[in-house]
Every structure is written in C-alpha cells, then in structure tokens.
Amino acid sequence: MNHSKKEIIPYASVGLAVLATLIWSGNFVIARAVHDKIGPVSLAFFRWSLASLIMLPFGLKQVVAQRKIIRKNAAYLFWAALTGISLFNTCIYISGKYTPAIKIALIGTTSSPIMAVILARIFLKESVNIIRAIGIILCISGIFLLLGQGDFRRVLQLHFELGDMWILLGAFFFAIYNVLVRRKPRDLNPIVFLTVLFVAGSLLLFPFFLIEWREQPPISWSWNLICVIVYLGLGNSVLSYIFWNRAIAKLGTATTALFGNLIPLFSAAEAVWFLGEKITALHIVSALLVITGLIIANISTRKKITVRT
C-alpha cells in the first residue's frame, strides 16, 4: 500500500505543474489584450491586491501564529516577493505594450527554464545529467521550431526589440523565484508563505502604482477588465502559485521549470478555441518535441523523487 502511494505522488505533482502552466498560459494573451486599457503596473497591483484579499481569510490566523518565523526569514521573503510577485508579471505586462502575445510566451518560456536550470545548478547543486540535458534540448528545440516557423535558420535571424528585453528580464526574475522557492524554510506553512508573498508583493508595487496612476491615462474600466483582474487574481495568482510551488517542492526547481515550455502550446490551443485560428502540423510537431523532452528530462529524477516522498 505504501509503495503504491509513493508511486502516485510524483505523477500528481506533474499534474499540478501542467495545470499551473495551463492557467498561466492565458496571462500572456491578457498582457497583450488589455495593454491599452490599463497600465502594466496597475494591472499587476490590482491582480496581487485581489490575490492578497483572497488569501488573507485563509492565512491571516496562521500568519499571526508564525510571525516569529516570518521575521526570522524576512530577507528571504522580501526577495521572493520582489522577484516572483512584483517584478516577474509586471515585466510581462510591460512587454505586452510592445510585443504580440505568442512572442511573449515563446521568449519567456524558452529562456526562463534555461536560466532556472543554470541557477539551480549553481546555487542548489541540482544535477544536470546527460538524460536531463537531452530532455532540455528537445524542449527548447520544440519552442525554437515554433519560433522559427518550422525553419531553425530563422531563429538565428531574430532580433530582440524593447518588448523582448522586458520579457527576458521577467523570465530571469521568475528563474530566481523558482530557485528561492526550492529554498523555502521547512517550518513555514505553504499558505503563510503565499499570503506573505502576495501582500508583500502588492506593497512593493504600491508606490509605482501611484506614480503610474498620476502620469498615465485613466483606466478604461469595464466588466471585461474586471473579469480579467478576477481571473488573474484567483486563477493566475492563488491557484497557479499553489500548484507550482507544490510541484517545485516535489519535483525540484530544474524539473518543474521545464513544464513552462507547455505554455506557448496551451496558448496556441486557446487561440484555436477562442479566436478560431487553425492549428498546423508545425504546432503538432513542436508539441511532440516539448512533451517528449519533458518525459525524458523526468526519467532520471522519477526514481529519486519516489524514494524520498
């Protein structure tokens, strides 16, 4: 019975990582869709403020109970909130002013896993053996194939514009966040962790929100925009971060980060469903490369994870 339970847990963690990326995939579309209706800092601030309000009823009592642990790890929590909450998504929303949604997803999901693997190797000493390396190469190849529209030579001809720089910066911050989550204090309750991050991230954004509120055009409020903020606050923030952090705890930083490569594939599927765009053989081949890479990259870690759980 115990052996069966241990075998199930890694697959459940994989499912959480996939579900998180599925929900997150809409974030790139939204970044582009509402860029002319609300400023990027304002969108990030309202998103995380709503997420904080959702988390507080569940986490406030535990936050008070663990206040000594929070104070002890204040510096760690500050950097995790700054990179994973305040900076990462704000960079995405800024890039949405200049870059198409699919390109935001492609650049972000191609670069962030590579950065996370490098950082995890340097700071966490997570191994990158030949099997995982092959999986990473397949994942990145699938994204590059999509980015080059079926011709890898086109990738070499791409040039990065202002929006591309912002998403690369956001990808770097998210890679740092992935490493920090792996170092989360064991005695810090997961709900407390997210509640503190959401509130701290919102507070860090607040001064810049006031500046943008004063200098940018007024927000074009509508029911659609309100629904977008609710989706971002509840789905992209609370649910996805709970799923993602749980997956990191079980699978490791480098392995979980690889699942980010699924985001542009999900974004393409959403384009088919919501926008009536046609899916091509290129999308299918890219998806197969990414999924195969994910499977191969997890082969070398599955046994280790099963034993530890």
Residue 3 confidence (pLDDT) above 70: no
Cβ contacts of residue 264 below 8 Å, gap of 6+? 25, 102, 105, 106, 109, 143, 146
Q: What is the pLDDT of residue 116?
A: 77
Domain residue ranges of the chain, discontinuous segments joined by +: 2-308
Cβ contacts of residue 251 below 8 Å, gap of 6+? 10, 13, 14, 17, 298, 301, 305
Q: What is the pLDDT of residue 307?
A: 30
Type of residue numbered 57: P
The burial class, CB within 10 Å (0-12 / 13-18 / 19+), for 30 is: buried
Sign, CA torsion 64/68/74/77: negative
- Read off the pLDDT band of 82 (50, 70, 90): very high
Residue 216 confidence (pLDDT) above 80: yes
Q: Percent of the chain scored above 70 by pLDDT? A: 82
pLDDT digits (tens, 9 = 90+) for 184-210: 898 999 899 999 999 999 999 999 999
Q: What is the pLDDT of residue 8?
A: 45
285, 119, 183, 138 alpha-carbon torsion, rounded to 10°: 20
pLDDT digits (tens, 9 = 90+) for 134-152: 877 887 787 777 666 676 6
d(CA 275, CA 162): 27
- Read off the pLDDT band of 167 (50, 70, 90): confident
* Residues present in the chain in total: 309
d(CA 138, CA 61): 45
Structure tokens at 106: 């492609």
Structure tokens at 214: 């004063």
252-278 b/e (C-beta count within 10 Å ≥ 16 → b): bbbbbbbbbbbbbbbbbbbbeeeeeee
Cβ contacts of residue 131 below 8 Å, gap of 6+? 296, 297, 299, 300
Average of per-residue pLDDT values in the chain: 82
To which residue do tokens 């392995």 refer? 255
Type of residue numbered 5: K
pTM: predicted TM-score of the whole model, two decimal places: 0.78
- Number of separate helices (H) and strands (E) present in the chain: 15, 0
The burial class, CB within 10 Å (0-12 / 13-18 / 19+), for 247 is: buried
d(CA 230, CA 232): 5
Residue 95 confidence (pLDDT) above 70: yes
User: Quick one: average pLDDT of 229-249?
Assistant: 89
pLDDT digits (tens, 9 = 90+) for 250-297: 888 777 877 877 887 787 777 667 656 566 777 778 778 877 877 777
Q: What is the largest CA-CA distance in the chain?
A: 62
- CB hemisphere CA count around 102 (13 angstroms): 16
Q: What is the pLDDT of residue 306?
A: 32
pLDDT digits (tens, 9 = 90+) for 8-57: 446 888 889 999 989 988 888 788 888 889 999 999 999 999 999 999 99
To which residue do tokens 């926008």 refer? 275
Type of residue numbered 166: W
Q: Nearest Cα to 63, choosing from 191, 231, 254?
A: 191
Type of residue numbered 23: I
More confident residue, 72 or 128: 72
d(CA 47, CA 24): 13
